[in-house]
Chains A and B, each alone.
Chain A
Amino acid sequence: MRKSVLAALAIAIAAPGLALAQAKEQFVPANFYWVGPYAPGGSGFGGGIIDYMAMINERDGGVNGVKLTWEKCETEYNNARGVECYERSKGKGPTGATVVHPLSTGITYSLIDKATADHIPVISMGYGRTSAADGRVFPYIFPLITTYWSQATVMVKYMGQKSGGMDKLKGKKIVLVYHDSAYGKEPIPVLTEMSKEYGYQLTTIAVPHPGNEQQSQWLQVRQIKPDYVILWGWGVMNPTALKAAAKIGYPRDKIIGVWWSGAEEDVLPAGSAATGFISAGFNAPGTEFPVMKDIQKYVYAKGKGEFEDKSRFGSIYHTRGVVAGIVTVEAIRLAQAKYGKGKPITGEQMRWGIEHLNIDDKRLKELGATGLMPTIKVSCNDHEGSGLVKFQQWDGAKWKVLTDWMEPDRKLVRSMVEADASQYAKEKGITPRNCSKDE
């Protein structure tokens, strides 16, 4: 309260300086979801990114003195509401929305055209349109760190490793249990393509949204007796699947989940049925990373922070949000270095920043995020930037990391990305950028 009185006084006295004072802000919309069936994901991820930005403001006074600001908008994981939030937020702050994290594959799809026309970058970290990784066709869309297709190839690799070599996959039976939506269908082309190479038998079983009824699907699994099950679930579908698997006695450590199946919220409701379940991930949970300690010290210790339930601090969704915050702030920092330190940047400048993002091991150490996220190097051509995936296992109380960062099958993924992107470009009449010339 006293602060706002002081601020009001300051404004009254220095009215001519108002524009200047306002200009030292960088606006990042917080369009997430806090209600509905997917609220655990939305509030966790949103909490992470906001906590990280709050920490940067408290610890460093913003990015080179430019304070980060944000405003929440409830999207309900609904495309129409997501577009409304985007339109509402895009003009705010001195330079408009810097970057948008839609946190929904559907909303990302809806924003591709709009954001490209408005010159506002969209970061769809671990979701969204996979072929947007081709930066020549999608200049403003960044499916950063890793995409569904990369993940699918790493999953096959991991199954090969578990079986004792890729050649051992021949004749093995793999079942994909997926959420029947654009999101769930995403891995099918890649898994089919790889089955030709490695000779495994792929069966796909769809689970209708929202997935709280899966008996018949798992009876089918029991008939097939697969060597591995890939679980491509979201929200309530995950614990239901694990419970159903326990009922038919399918070993949980043969079920490999996508990263949207691998959070505490996905396994806790299944109770002991979840023990042994393995999932992929592009971020690690935990409270011991230096960056998480900083958030604790500068935000939560001062009675702020997004979570009232402190046990969610350091959960998978929370640290995933922190990773999103790191990527966002690092790109802002980079763009400032080029376009003027201590000045708010525009969406176009932010695009340059994200496209030149290069977080190596050294930088990760400085950020206090070693092990929290993989290294990442984005380019005009490659808007994914990393593709690395880790595997983790639920031991009944917490997620234990099983592997180091694993490489995807870049050649396969890239060729499919380019094929899909060029079809999109043809449909929409887009001429791909020439990346060898582009700055």
Chain B
Amino acid sequence: MLYREAGQFKSTYAQDQQIFPIRQDRIAIGVLLAFAAIVVPLVGNEYWLSAIITPFLIASLAALGLNILTGYAGQLSLGTAAFMAVGAFMAYNAELRIPGMPIIGSFIIGGVCAAAVGIVFGLPSLRIKGFYLAVATLACQFFVLWAINRVPWFSNHSSSGVITAQKIEILGYDVVSPAGKYLLTLAIVALMALAAKNLMRSETGRAFMAVRDMDVAASVIGIPMMRTKLLAFAISSFYCGVAGALYAFCYLGTVEPEAFTLDLSFRILFMVIIGGVGSILGSFLGAAFITMFPIFLNRASEWVAGVFAVEIPGAIVSNLEAMIFGGLIIFFLIVEPNGLARLWQIAKEKLRLWPFPH
């Protein structure tokens, strides 16, 4: 950035190992969090909070989950939406069937159930890799939706298979306003992102990356293959499960199994690819790009129509939106195949030298 670490001396190991070693970075992230927690709920209207920012945060969490598995541990998965579905439906059932269950407890149960499913469907990863593993996780995607559709217990015998999320109550306080739901989502996502960041800096995270880069070498240096791969599946599915529960409780309020189709799995995979494979920040950037950009394009067309006083037919707007969006994805991938997170890193490095590059 414009600043550098000059003059900031580290005298302990703890200081040396901080996530953000430069003071300015720490201040910036603190300001960003404070902005998200205080200013956004005060300034943001209902539309922004409940239709743009909350879904973006939830998508980020799901992308983060997939990034742990695909980006860090190198196991390609197409079952993300299925893990989200498990999280959503099990959190609903936990809330429904266990009297007095606190909502956070339900989210955790949803996540743990997703993790269990993840471990089961992660078993093939011990034998197969790459695209073949993707096919195995595809089976998970179809199996989970099939099971939720077929077993009426999951949807509490609702005739159409649709569940309605219960009221969110935390410490006797009803969370009904968009701002409340946003803050709950923000808190969970921020905590889990911090946990993910630290996990990746720990021994476990390094084992994930060793497996990703070359699993034979990793097992030679003593990393247990089975434990590491299954742990990656479990942690990743836990993140996706919590994201699914948030999707049901804090965003849509009512979900049907069809909300978690393969389509959603692909969208989350695209978020990871565009944002940056193997990057926490990338998960957020990718989610922002995929969830917000189509809406931005849609609104921009409204604005263009308003300024130039021309009426653009609805069908053309919708098709243009899809075309521009697709074009931009290709553009970004050509300019920077490593994703938006890498672009950000390059920008930071350039700014270190600015305005006097070599």
Q: Which A positions have Cβ atoms within 8 angstroms of B?
A: 1, 4, 30, 32-35, 39, 43, 46, 71-74, 76, 79-81, 83-84, 86-88, 90-91, 105-106, 109-110, 112-114, 117, 129, 180-183, 185-186, 188-189, 209, 308, 420, 424, 427-429
Q: Judging by beta carbons under 8 Å apart, are A84 and B295 in contact?
A: yes
> Which residue from chain B places its CB closest to the CB of A192 in the assembled complex?
B159
Complex interface: chain A residues within 8 A of B253 (CB): 110, 112-114
B333 at the interface (CB under 8 A from A): no
> Which residue from chain B places its CB closest to the CB of A416 in the assembled complex?
B159
Complex interface: chain B residues within 8 A of A185 (CB): 149, 159-161
Q: Judging by beta carbons under 8 Å apart, are B167 and A182 in contact?
A: no
Q: Judging by beta carbons under 8 Å apart, are A80 and B252 in contact?
A: yes
CA distance A49 to B162 in the complex (A): 28
Q: Judging by beta carbons under 8 Å apart, are A182 and B162 in contact?
A: yes
State the Cβ distance, A253 to closest chain B Cβ, in Å: 29
1/0 contact trace for B237-275 toward A, CB 8 Å? 000000000000001111011110100000000000000
Q: Judging by beta carbons under 8 Å apart, are A109 and B256 in contact?
A: yes
> Which residue from chain A places its CB closest to the CB of B256 in the assembled complex?
A182
CA distance A308 to B313 in the complex (A): 10
Q: Judging by beta carbons under 8 Å apart, are A35 and B319 in contact?
A: yes
CA distance A269 to B266 in the complex (A): 29
State the Cβ distance, B259 to closest chain A Cβ, in Å: 6
Q: Judging by beta carbons under 8 Å apart, are B52 and A34 in contact?
A: no
Q: Judging by beta carbons under 8 Å apart, are B254 and A113 in contact?
A: yes
B110 at the interface (CB under 8 A from A): no
11 further A-B contacts with Cβ under 8 Å, apart from A84-B52, A181-B258, A183-B160, are A43-B315, A74-B298, A83-B251, A106-B258, A109-B256, A110-B253, A113-B253, A188-B159, A424-B164, A428-B167, A429-B167
Partner of B259, one of A1, A106, A117, A420: A106
Q: Which B positions have Cβ atoms within 8 angstroms of A?
A: 45-47, 50-52, 55, 96, 149, 156, 159-162, 164, 166-167, 176, 251-254, 256-259, 261, 294-295, 298, 302, 309, 313-315, 317-319, 321-322
Q: Judging by beta carbons under 8 Å apart, are A182 and B258 in contact?
A: yes
Partner of A186, one of B160, B167, B252, B314: B160
Majority SS at the chain B contact face:
helix
Q: Judging by beta carbons under 8 Å apart, are A34 and B96 in contact?
A: no
CA distance A181 to B51 in the complex (A): 24
A–B pairs, 21, beta carbons within 8 Å = A1-B309, A39-B315, A74-B298, A74-B314, A74-B321, A80-B251, A81-B294, A88-B47, A90-B47, A112-B164, A129-B160, A182-B161, A182-B257, A183-B160, A185-B149, A186-B160, A209-B258, A209-B261, A420-B159, A428-B166, A428-B167
Complex interface: chain A residues within 8 A of B313 (CB): 308
Complex interface: chain B residues within 8 A of A43 (CB): 314-315
Q: Judging by beta carbons under 8 Å apart, are A91 and B164 in contact?
A: no
**4 smallest beta-carbon distances between A and B, as pairs:** A87-B51, A34-B315, A182-B160, A35-B318
CA distance A71 to B298 in the complex (A): 12
Known pairs A74-B298, A84-B295; A112 contacts B254 (CB<8 A): yes
CA distance A29 to B270 in the complex (A): 31
CA distance A429 to B295 in the complex (A): 35
CA distance A34 to B298 in the complex (A): 13
Complex interface: chain A residues within 8 A of B302 (CB): 71
Complex interface: chain B residues within 8 A of A30 (CB): 314
CA distance A93 to B35 in the complex (A): 31
Majority SS at the chain A contact face:
helix
Complex interface: chain B residues within 8 A of A429 (CB): 167
State the Cβ distance, B160 to closest chain A Cβ, in Å: 4
Complex interface: chain B residues within 8 A of A72 (CB): 314, 317
State the Cβ distance, A11 to closest chain B Cβ, in Å: 14
CA distance A30 to B50 in the complex (A): 20
Q: Judging by beta carbons under 8 Å apart, are B55 and A80 in contact?
A: yes
Complex interface: chain A residues within 8 A of B161 (CB): 182, 185
Complex interface: chain A residues within 8 A of B258 (CB): 106, 181-182, 209
CA distance A90 to B52 in the complex (A): 15
CA distance A36 to B309 in the complex (A): 28
CA distance A61 to B289 in the complex (A): 43
Known pairs A84-B295, A186-B159, A209-B261; A110 contacts B254 (CB<8 A): yes
CA distance A73 to B298 in the complex (A): 8
> Which residue from chain A places its CB closest to the CB of B312 in the assembled complex?
A72
CA distance A129 to B96 in the complex (A): 21
CA distance A112 to B256 in the complex (A): 14
Complex interface: chain A residues within 8 A of B51 (CB): 83-84, 86-88
State the Cβ distance, B261 to closest chain A Cβ, in Å: 7
CA distance A209 to B264 in the complex (A): 14
State the Cβ distance, A37 to closest chain B Cβ, in Å: 11
Complex interface: chain A residues within 8 A of B156 (CB): 427
Q: Judging by beta carbons under 8 Å apart, are B318 and A113 in contact?
A: no
Complex interface: chain B residues within 8 A of A181 (CB): 256, 258
Known pairs A72-B314, A185-B159; A91 contacts B47 (CB<8 A): yes
> Which residue from chain A places its CB closest to the CB of B48 in the assembled complex?
A87
Q: Judging by beta carbons under 8 Å apart, are B167 and A35 in contact?
A: no
CA distance A81 to B267 in the complex (A): 14
Among A34, A46, A80, A186, the most chain B Cβ lie within 10 Å of the Cβ of: A80
> Which residue from chain A places its CB closest to the CB of B150 in the assembled complex?
A206
CA distance A80 to B58 in the complex (A): 12
State the Cβ distance, B298 to closest chain A Cβ, in Å: 6
Partner of A79, one of B45, B149, B259, B294: B259
Q: Judging by beta carbons under 8 Å apart, are A113 and B315 in contact?
A: no
> Which residue from chain B places its CB closest to the CB of A82 in the assembled complex?
B252
Complex interface: chain B residues within 8 A of A91 (CB): 45-47
Q: Judging by beta carbons under 8 Å apart, are A427 and B318 in contact?
A: no
Complex interface: chain B residues within 8 A of A33 (CB): 318
Among B96, B164, B294, B322, the most chain A Cβ lie within 10 Å of the Cβ of: B164
State the Cβ distance, A74 to closest chain B Cβ, in Å: 4
> Which residue from chain A places its CB closest to the CB of B322 in the assembled complex?
A35
CA distance A43 to B55 in the complex (A): 27
State the Cβ distance, B175 to closest chain A Cβ, in Å: 13
CA distance A256 to B275 in the complex (A): 49
